[in-house]
Amino acid sequence: MKLAILTSGGDSAGMNAVVRAVVKAGIIKGCETWVVREGYEGLVRGNTEAVAEQSLDETPIDLPDTSSTTDGSTNLVQNLRFGDGDLLRDGTGDHPGTRSLKGRYIVRVGFDDVKGWFAEGGTLIGTARSKTFRTMEGRLQAAYNMIKEGIDALVVCGGDGSLTGADVFRAEWPKLVEALHAEGILFSRISAEKVALHAHLKIVGLVGSIDNDMSMTDLTIGAPTALHRICEAIDNINSTASSHSRAFVLEVMGRHCGWLALLAGVSGGADFIFIPESPPTTESWEDEMCQCIQRHREVGKRKTIVIVAEGAIDCNLKPIKSEYVKDVLAERLGLDTRVTTLGHTQRGGRPCAYDRILPTLQGMEAVEALLEATPDSPSYMIGVQENKITRVPLMEAVKMTRSVSAAIEAKDFEKAMSYRDPEFKESFAGFITTSTLEQEKVPSEERMRVAIMHMGAPAGGMNAATRAAVRYCIRHGHTPIAVHNGFRGLLDDNIHELSWLGVDSWMARGGSELGTNRTLPSIDLGAIASKFQQHRFQALLMIGGFEAFNSLLILEEGRKHYPAFHIPMVHLPATISNNVPMTEWSLGSDTSLNALVDACDAIKQSASASRNRVFVVETQGGKCGFIATVGALATGASLVYTPEQGMDLDTLRRDVRFLKTRYTLDAKGRSEGRLVIKNESASQVYTTDVIQKMLKEEGGSLFDARSASLGHTLQGGVPSPMDRARAVRLSLKCMAFLEREHNKLLSSKTRHATPDSAAIITIQSSSLKWVPVQEMVAHADMQNRRGKTSWWAGIKELAELLAGRPQLVGLH
């Protein structure tokens, strides 16, 4: 298969990661890979005849003898470089020397041409909005250009417009080929056999959009990075707003979709938001907003943050503009109010970890989908649901996306919300619960005293989860009680009631505001039970890692002897190691991956700048290889060592051979930095120091080696927006669970809690699941403090595959 990829519509972070993954996965699967510059416009312009010939003469650039490599390497080595990577990176299209991109819009690229691309923002192959492609003549020319180069499969990364264009192109393709044939354009230049070979076009779409405006997928490529930019801005504004007791109106992107405004509102702890899908319910929204903010001020808030989506409207579809919101706040409440419009800063910058991981997995899936496509199968869009990469019929997703706009225009806002994914709706409900002072108190007999505790090492999102739980409690009339310093603190009566205002600024705080340690309740179970009784705990929320799971298990088993533990108890996983069994993501793991990506980008830059250097980067994680493995995928590491797989001499010998082959194959005169990521417990013998010295010795004149241990920096400073948003969502679910189980207990005669009432909230593939702690034990490797299985096990191979390791030296 000859496949091409283009990026179209508005640019977004992560588009480069898509191009990199599609090119690399394509070559790994034996395809020839091309990129189309400037979106559909490039497809229409194609390559001028003279230049195309010139470029063919020059490819591929001189490759060293690779006879020592294994059979699997053939396609990779033949497709290593076409010398266009740097030109594309320059983006000038006009380069000194023999090669130039001038007049070449459809460019053959190799494995190394896209090396390191995913650390860069925007799209290196350019994007455009093409009027010509909207016409039949334009698409006819595009079809001609593709057939001329022999391309029979196309990956399109863009918004709903771009994906519609892709579908139109594919549906029309047989007609276009026929028309070209009839006009004799093809016949004169391309053989009838070639025409027959191009009877059908294979197309796959990936959604590149910062707005997260596509239905049937939880996330679009670039949206998480844009959210990062917005949250950074809110965090910065928060301190100045608080200092001067000011109000800020923040305008964010999102013409037809309020995801950015909503998630920024949730993660940034805003006071009020305006989104197109769910406008204020009354015409007098000004009163609604002012009442809400006035109440916040009355309880002592010194700052006000209002977020307005670009496409915000009132219930009569009249646009709500940030300047007007500012005037209302200033005039009616007398607040010193400023407007900040973030504009294009939201688009730019380095992609966050998730915008490297998701596009990489989706890009690889896109190539699979193309290889499996038949003339009868629909064009797919690659999406994601929770943690599962999905394929959905492209036009179904586009149709549903358009239905949102239609529903908004028809003022059917309920319908508009129903077309968004479940996470969107939950986030909206979560925002209302955590940001307003309105109360929906449950009957007094159903109210609970809820103990909240942090366990184990600090992780990003612990405080955000606590804030959400506290605000849920207050809204429903429960009493939230902080237990400081875990079970040790409980024994010392280190507890206090939390207030709505007291937790206000906790969204953006890293570490653990409650204090945390690893002490288990088994330290003195009887004394712990008596403290539960003394403080009249009626429900327990534990936020933490493996210790929290272990503690829950001890408390549940303790129910046999201590009635005080017959209360509902939940564990919300929060650990950078992500070692709680049966959950695919824990709070803090996204923050940690971002810390790893930031550190590795800097290390890789240094490694490239200072001669050919391999950096052995050591990560935390205990006996769990999550952070090292997924981190390797997010940083483009060449090799990864985990405790699950362990290390032995055979592996090391093979890996040294790979690095030598890899450096031999590098372009002459070009200095390459590479990363090896190693979990701290991958081996007791082959330590980071040993590996670094061994690589230095073996690298000889080919490469040098250094090491860096990231240690506690991986706990990250400020929690990532994804961790904050996830914390709110999961924490509110935990509170609802505690309420449900408490009511069950109230209506039971024995007042004995069932085993199901001590449970852990987990993310499993595409859904959230409650797992009773006793059930989880069967899936836990208690000795190594991790799950018996892990979803990321296969990612180690993917990461090494993308580095070319198995192809160049074989698997064994």
Could you list the active site residues? 211
Q: How many CA atoms lie within 13 A of 562 on its CB side?
A: 20
- On whether 190 is known to bind a ligand per the annotation, the reply is no
- Selected from 129, 332, 338, 447, the binder of ligand ATP by CB under 6 A is 129
- For residues 586 and 492, give the distance between their C-alpha atoms in angstroms, rounded to a whole number: 29
**Window of 154-162, 270-278, 671-679, 710-718 that interacts with ligand ATP by CB under 6 A:** 154-162
Report residue 298 as tokens. Answer: 């009355």
CA 309 to chain centre: 21
| Minimum distance of ligand ATP from residue 785's CB (angstroms) | 44
Cβ-Cβ contacts under 8 Å for 165 (sequence gap 6 or more): 8, 40, 133, 134, 156
State which residue, 162 or 642, has the beta carbon closest to ligand ATP. Answer: 162
State which residue, 9 or 804, has the beta carbon closest to ligand ATP. Answer: 9
CA 94 to chain centre: 35
- Selected from 105, 111, 133, 626, the binder of ligand ATP by CB under 6 A is 133
Does 121 engage in binding with ligand ATP (CB under 6 A)?
no
Cβ-Cβ contacts under 8 Å for 569 (sequence gap 6 or more): 539, 540, 542, 552, 555, 556, 757, 758, 759
Q: How many residues bind ligand ATP (CB under 6 A)?
A: 17
Q: How many CA atoms lie within 13 A of 387 on its CB side?
A: 18
| Minimum distance of ligand ATP from residue 220's CB (angstroms) | 9
- Selected from 47, 209, 435, 679, the binder of ligand ATP by CB under 6 A is 209
Cα torsion 618, 623, 625, 626: sign = negative
- On whether 456 is known to bind a ligand per the annotation, the reply is no
- On whether 183 is known to bind a ligand per the annotation, the reply is no
Does 168 engage in binding with ligand ATP (CB under 6 A)?
yes
- For residues 691 and 653, give the distance between their C-alpha atoms in angstroms, rounded to a whole number: 11
Q: How many CB atoms lie within 10 A of CB 648?
A: 12
- On whether 345 is known to bind a ligand per the annotation, the reply is yes
State which residue, 129 or 425, has the beta carbon closest to ligand ATP. Answer: 129
- Selected from 16, 141, 164, 225, the binder of ligand ATP by CB under 6 A is 164
- For residues 270 and 499, give the distance between their C-alpha atoms in angstroms, rounded to a whole number: 17
Q: What is the 3-state secondary structure (H, E, C) of 659-689?
A: HHHHHHHCCCCCCCEEEEEEECCCCCCCCHH
- Determine contact, residues 548/586, Cβ cutoff 8 Å: no
- Selected from 42, 158, 269, 558, the binder of ligand ATP by CB under 6 A is 158
| Minimum distance of ligand ATP from residue 202's CB (angstroms) | 18
- On whether 575 is known to bind a ligand per the annotation, the reply is yes
- On whether 518 is known to bind a ligand per the annotation, the reply is yes
Does 126 engage in binding with ligand ATP (CB under 6 A)?
no
- Determine contact, residues 428/262, Cβ cutoff 8 Å: yes
Strand order of the β-sheet with 613-619 is 639-641, 673-679, 613-619, 704-709
Does 401 engage in binding with ligand ATP (CB under 6 A)?
no
- Selected from 83, 85, 165, 511, the binder of ligand ATP by CB under 6 A is 165
> x-or-dash pattern for ligand ATP, window 6-45, by CB under 6 A?
--xxx-----------------------------x-----
- On whether 387 is known to bind a ligand per the annotation, the reply is no
| Minimum distance of ligand ATP from residue 51's CB (angstroms) | 23
Does 161 engage in binding with ligand ATP (CB under 6 A)?
yes
DSSP label at residue 378: P
- Residue least distant from ligand ATP (Cβ): 161
* 3-state SS class at 805: helix
Report residue 71 as tokens. Answer: 């059979």
State which residue, 9 or 461, has the beta carbon closest to ligand ATP. Answer: 9
Does 79 engage in binding with ligand ATP (CB under 6 A)?
no
Does 348 engage in binding with ligand ATP (CB under 6 A)?
no
- On whether 346 is known to bind a ligand per the annotation, the reply is yes
- On whether 191 is known to bind a ligand per the annotation, the reply is no
State which residue, 153 or 395, has the beta carbon closest to ligand ATP. Answer: 395
State which residue, 85 or 159, has the beta carbon closest to ligand ATP. Answer: 159
Does 175 engage in binding with ligand ATP (CB under 6 A)?
no
Q: How many CA atoms lie within 13 A of 554 on its CB side?
A: 18
Report residue 772 as tokens. Answer: 């009773």
Q: How many CB atoms lie within 10 A of CB 227?
A: 31
State which residue, 169 or 641, has the beta carbon closest to ligand ATP. Answer: 169
**Residue positions forming the annotated binding site for Mg(2+):** 160
* Residues contributing to the annotated binding site for beta-D-fructose 2,6-bisphosphate: 518, 575-579, 613, 620-622, 680, 706, 785
**Contact positions toward ligand ATP, by CB under 6 A?**
8-10, 40, 129-130, 133-134, 158-162, 164-165, 168, 209
